[in-house]
Structure 1
Amino acid sequence: MENYFCQKVDLRSRAAMVQFLTSHFRYNTMNSWNNSTSYANNVKVNRIIPREHQDQAYNLLEQEAVFHHIHVLFSEWAEQYHYRWHAGFNGRSGGYIVLYQGQAESPKSGPKSYCLECGQHNFKLVPPENPTPEQRLILLVHQNQTWRDAVIYENNEELIKNLGFEREAALAIFAAEKRKISQGAGEFSSSNKCGKCHAPARVNYETPPTRFNIFPVRSTDMGEDFHSEDWDMESLRDRVRLVQSFDQLCDQVRALFIAYCKDYRVEEVEVMVPQKRKILKPVEV
């Protein structure tokens, strides 16, 4: 991968590091009127994509799969910095990648599954493909959470007995599962169907993803005096390495986009969308 944004900096030289940081391109973290800027790179198609691929690149701007891949790169990069730093698009047409400050969180609630086709998160678990007898009882709880345990048993008594459970054992499983749900263990959906693309391709996370906050109103090093005593040599090196890493991430995005231009073409296909309509039908007598 060629270096388009990333450049070498002499980390032994204070002057070289200060020059790199103060001359780096910057852009708004929110809006121009917000007067908050951070390190950034211009990634507009006519700026970074070779002329022979630009028509294809403009077509790719409408493809969700491409940007899903890019956001995976962003997420993996942020994880390296424990989500204290993030990269994101900004500008009216999303033509700039900006370095943002952030903070990681670990809430009990969060996405429990995701779609392998489109990447959509879902806050419910995918049910087991071949549930055990006990898991089948647990699924009854998730399908009928508003019912009292005794009602769940009465309405499914024959099934529960066929699974080998007596009434008291089944009620104990129901109660235990409801406690887990109340403690944020997660609920099961009825199938693995994705709510966005409708593909039967949802799977559960082995480890739920870390939640995080991004602070777009915060500037980074805006008007900073790198000659002050607060910036010793090691602090300067750390900041230069961070910005170099950010620039390298932008180079990865550029290389990914060019690879899509070379390896794929955008075709227009006709998609039939089912619709529900109300029609008149004669009354059967």
Structure 2
Amino acid sequence: MTNSFWAKKVDRRSRSAMVDFLRDHYCYNTMNSWNGASSYAHCIKIHRLGLTSEQSDKAYDMLDTDFWEEIRWPINEFTDSQNGFYTIGTNGRSGGYLVLYESRFEITGHLSYCPSCGQRNFKKVPPTFEDANEQVMAQEILKSRNAWQLGVYLSQPSIEALPLSNDEKLSTITRLKALLVDCSLTDACGVCGKPRRNFSTPPVQLAVYPGKGIDHGEAFDAEEWSMEALRERVDLVCAFDAACDQIRHNFIALLIGYDVVEETVHRPVTVKVLRERTV
């Protein structure tokens, strides 16, 4: 279990204990000082992490590496535990603060993706139809981007040639137009050309609101803050503290388990050269 560095035990039976905890918690400006808003935070500058002198020396070297992705997973866990309504972000000129932010998951609008290259698309992959007549009409609808009036489709040679009455064609076209809304002409990926797939559930992305302060200047008076509301806020801030503790723990684990070494990396460079013609 991670040793507590910032996290504290708070008596949730006592209003005064909870209010004191929230009021005394360190806060940081969510954007700039003139923004007039702040939120719960922790300073994660190296000299404020409680490191040994040896760990501190190593930590400064580690700042030149891509170490952050190795230690940030508690942020994802915290965000998921809060159903996306809160997250943790870095702030300050050198990212020296962890700050509690408001956030929310928003649907991206992508309807399909390419399993091969990962490219997302705002159009769905069109369905295939076993009925040959439906397939012909579907292709005409897709080629027109579903934009024509019903009668226009009847005049298309491929649809005119179908062995169906006009009423049957109109009924089918009406049904297919509704089915093919937001579909592309083919399933081909626009980047690599390989088949796309439709998302089974709409993908979401996290929208963060760093400019919004949380409890900035809040008095936590009894008229506006019930005991239940105070407990919920204390639970949130305590979860934030615990996540920050875990991030610090992860960073120290890197300092203990890894050394920073220099490597020479050769990267390919594209240049123009002369090449003799072959007959």
Q: Are the counterparts in 2 of residues 111 and 208 from structure 1 also a CA contact under 8 Å?
A: no
Q: 1:268 aligns with which of 249, 262, 266?
A: 262
Q: 1:187 aligns with which of 186, 189, 207?
A: 189
Q: 2:119 aligns with which of 104, 120, 123?
A: 123
CA displacement at 1:55 relative to structure 2: 1.7
| Alpha-carbon distance change, 244 to 40 in structure 1, aligned in 2, over 3 angstroms | same
Q: Are the counterparts in 2 of residues 111 and 122 from structure 1 also a CA contact under 8 Å?
A: no
Secondary structure, counterpart of 2:78 in structure 1: helix
Secondary structure, counterpart of 2:48 in structure 1: helix
Give, in whole Å, the separation in 1 of the partners of 2:46 and 2:88: 18
Cα deviation 1:174-211 (Å, max 9, x = unaligned) = xxxx988639989375499xxxxxxxxxxxx9977631
**TM-score if structure 1 supplies the norm length?**
0.67
Correspondence for 1:14: 15
Q: 1:239 aligns with which of 230, 233, 241?
A: 233
The answer on 1:63 being equivalent to 2:65 is yes
Q: Are the counterparts in 1 of residues 114 and 189 from structure 2 also a CA contact under 8 Å?
A: no
Correspondence for 1:166: none
Correspondence for 2:168: none
Correspondence for 2:98: 97
Cα deviation 1:232-258 (Å, max 9, x = unaligned) = 111001101100000000000000000
Correspondence for 1:218: 212
Secondary structure, counterpart of 1:100 in structure 2: strand
Secondary structure, counterpart of 1:108 in structure 2: coil
Give, in whole Å, the separation in 2 of the partners of 1:244 and 1:112: 38
Larger Rg: 2
| Structure 1: tracts of 5 or more residues without a match | 115-120, 126-133, 135-147, 150-177, 193-204
Correspondence for 2:132: none
Correspondence for 1:38: 39
**TM-score if structure 2 supplies the norm length?**
0.68
Q: CA RMSD in A?
A: 3.4
CA displacement at 1:228 relative to structure 2: 3.6
Give, in whole Å, the separation in 1 of the partners of 2:233 and 2:25: 12
Q: Are the counterparts in 2 of residues 124 and 188 from structure 1 also a CA contact under 8 Å?
A: no
| Structure 2: tracts of 5 or more residues without a match | 122-127, 129-141, 144-179
5 Å matches for 1:244-259?
244-259=238-253
Correspondence for 1:27: 28
| Alpha-carbon distance change, 123 to 277 in structure 1, aligned in 2, over 3 angstroms | same
| Alpha-carbon distance change, 110 to 213 in structure 1, aligned in 2, over 3 angstroms | farther
Secondary structure, counterpart of 2:98 in structure 1: strand
Correspondence for 1:161: none
Percent identical pairs in the alignment equals 37
